[in-house]
Amino acid sequence: MGSSGTDTGDAVELLRGQGMRMTPQRLAIVDEIMSTAGYIIPTTVIDRVQARVPGVSPSTVYRTLERLEQVGVLTHVHLEQGTGYHRLEEVQHAHLTCSRCGADLELPRSSLRFLERRIERDHGFRPDFTHHAIAGVCAACLDLAQQ
Amino acid sequence: MGSSGTDTGDAVELLRGQGMRMTPQRLAIVDEIMSTAGYIIPTTVIDRVQARVPGVSPSTVYRTLERLEQVGVLTHVHLEQGTGYHRLEEVQHAHLTCSRCGADLELPRSSLRFLERRIERDHGFRPDFTHHAIAGVCAACLDLAQQ
DNA sequence: CCCGGCGTTGCAACGAGTTGCAACTGCATT
DNA sequence: AATGCAGTTGCAACTCGTTGCAACGCCGGG
C-alpha cells in the first residue's frame, strides 16, 4: 500500500499531455496523492514526499498541488482547520463539522442536491456545499444539550 | 465617525463584569470593532489599532479577538480568503461566494432556516450556514455560461 | 493613596503558506 | 548522443497567525 496506485500512471500521462514535465519530485507528489483515500493536507504531503525524495522544498509541493488542481486532477476543500486536497474522481461529499466535539461527518452530495436546486431557484445562486465545510452541532451533542 | 459608538461602553462594561481588565490597547480594539459595520479581518484591526495606539503588537490583537469571542461579543466566520470577525448582534447571514467572479452575496439566515431544519430532520445534524462561506456560481456568471 | 496579585502585554521564535529569482533539467529536436 | 530552452526547483525573504515567557500595569484591598 501507499505507492504506485493504478491511477498514478493515468495521472502522469494526463499531466504529460498538458505539457507538464515529470520530475522525480513531481512524481513522488502525484503518487502520494493518488494513493491516498479521502483528503490530505499539504503539510502531510510535504512530510511524506520529503521522506521519499530528500530535499524537496515545501514551495514545490504547494505549487504542484496548485498545478494539479488547475489541470483537473485534484480539488481543494476548506475544512475547519485549513485546506485539504482530494482526487477529483472521489465521490463528492460535504463535510459537517461539529463545533462542540469536533466530529467530522461526511454527507454525500446527492443528499444535498435538493437543497442546492432550491437555493438556485430561490436566489439565483448555484451553491456547492462540498467546497467549504458546514459547521453545526452533531446528533450526539444535540442529545447531550437537550437533557 | 469610526470611534466611540454607543455600544462600546456597553461592551466595556460587560467585559469588566467578566473580570477582564481594560487596558488602552484593549479599549482601542473593542472600540474599533464596535464601530465597524459588517465583518472585519484581523489585519485591518491591527492596522487601525496601531494607528491609534502605537506599538500594539499583533499577538495582542489576535488574543483579544479570541477573548471577545469567548465572552460572546464577537463571532468569527470563515470566508473564502480567510477569517472575518463581526459583532454578535449583527444580523446573521450566510456568505455566498462566487467562484467565478469572486462576488460575495449575503443571504439572510432566515432564508436558510428551512434548509437547516430539513438537514437536521434528515441527518440529525443541526447546521449553521453562517459560519463558513458557501461557494458556488452567481446568477450573472450562470447567465454567461449558458450562452 | 499606596500596594501587590494576577491578568495582560510585547517580544522573540516558530509554523504555515506565498512569491521573486537564479540555477537547473526534462525532453523535443536535430 | 548532443543541444537548447521553457518548465521546474530550491532558496531566501516575506506575511499571517500562534505560543512561551518575562516584564508590566490595572484595579481591588488595605
Residue B78 grid coordinates: 470563515
Query: For A141, which residue in chain B has the nearest alpha carbon?
Result: B125
Query: For B107, which residue in chain A has the nearest alpha carbon?
Result: A123
Is A23 near strand C, with its CB below 7 A from some atom of it?
Answer: yes
Contacts of B142 in chain A (CB under 8 A): 124, 126
Mean pLDDT of chain A: 92
For residues A84-104, give the mean pLDDT. 93
- Record: contact A142-B124, CB cut-off 8 A: yes
Q: What is the pLDDT of residue B5?
A: 47
Strand partners, B137: A126
Mean pLDDT of chain B: 92
Query: For B128, which residue in chain A has the nearest alpha carbon?
Result: A136
Hey, how many other C-beta atoms are within 10 angstroms of the C-beta on A91? Answer: 9
Q: What is the pLDDT of residue B117?
A: 94
For residues B119-135, give the mean pLDDT. 96
- Record: contact B138-A124, CB cut-off 8 A: yes
pLDDT in tens, A22-65: 999 999 999 999 999 999 999 999 999 999 999 999 999 999 99
Cβ of residue B122 closer than 8 Å to a chain A Cβ: yes
Q: What is the pLDDT of residue A24?
A: 97
For residues A107-125, give the mean pLDDT. 93
Torsions phi, psi for B131 (to 5 deg):
-80, -40
pLDDT in tens, A1-13: 444 445 888 889 9
Q: Quick one: pLDDT band at residue B143, thresholds 50, 70, 90? A: very high
Q: Quick one: pLDDT band at residue B145, thresholds 50, 70, 90? A: confident
Residue A126 grid coordinates: 448555484
Hey, how many other C-beta atoms are within 10 angstroms of the C-beta on A77? Answer: 19
Q: What is the pLDDT of residue A3?
A: 43
Hey, how many other C-beta atoms are within 10 angstroms of the C-beta on B96? Answer: 23
How many angstroms separate the CA atoms of B128 and A99, rounded?
A: 10
Residue B107 CA, chain-centre distance (Å), reads 14
Asked if B71 contacts B29 with a C-beta cutoff of 8 angstroms, the reply is: no
Contacts of B145 in chain A (CB under 8 A): none
For residues A16-23, give the mean pLDDT. 93
- Record: contact A134-B138, CB cut-off 8 A: no
Q: Which residue has the cell 461566494?
A: B97
Distance A146 CA to D3 C1' (A): 75
How many angstroms separate the CA atoms of B70 and B68, rounded?
A: 5
How many angstroms separate the CA atoms of A54 and A32, rounded?
A: 15
Q: What is the pLDDT of residue A6?
A: 53
Q: Which of B119, B120, B144 should be substituted to probe chain A, the one whose Cβ sees the most A Cβ atoms within 10 Å?
A: B119
- Record: contact A142-B132, CB cut-off 8 A: no
Consecutive H or E run containing B85? strand B82-87
Give, as ranges, the nucleotides of chain D with any atom within 7 Å of a protein CB.
Answer: 7-12, 15-20, 25-28
Q: What is the pLDDT of residue A2?
A: 42
Asked if B36 contacts B65 with a C-beta cutoff of 8 angstroms, the reply is: no
Asked if A109 contacts A130 with a C-beta cutoff of 8 angstroms, the reply is: yes
CB under 8 Å to B59, separation ≥6 — which residues?
none
pLDDT in tens, B46-69: 999 999 999 999 999 999 999 999
How many angstroms separate the CA atoms of B36 and B87, rounded?
A: 9
Q: What is the pLDDT of residue B74?
A: 94
Cβ of residue A138 closer than 8 Å to a chain B Cβ: yes
Cβ of residue A128 closer than 8 Å to a chain B Cβ: yes
Q: What is the pLDDT of residue B3?
A: 43
Could you tell me where the DSSP H helices lie in B20-87? 24-34, 42-52, 58-71
Cα-trace Rg, chain B: 18
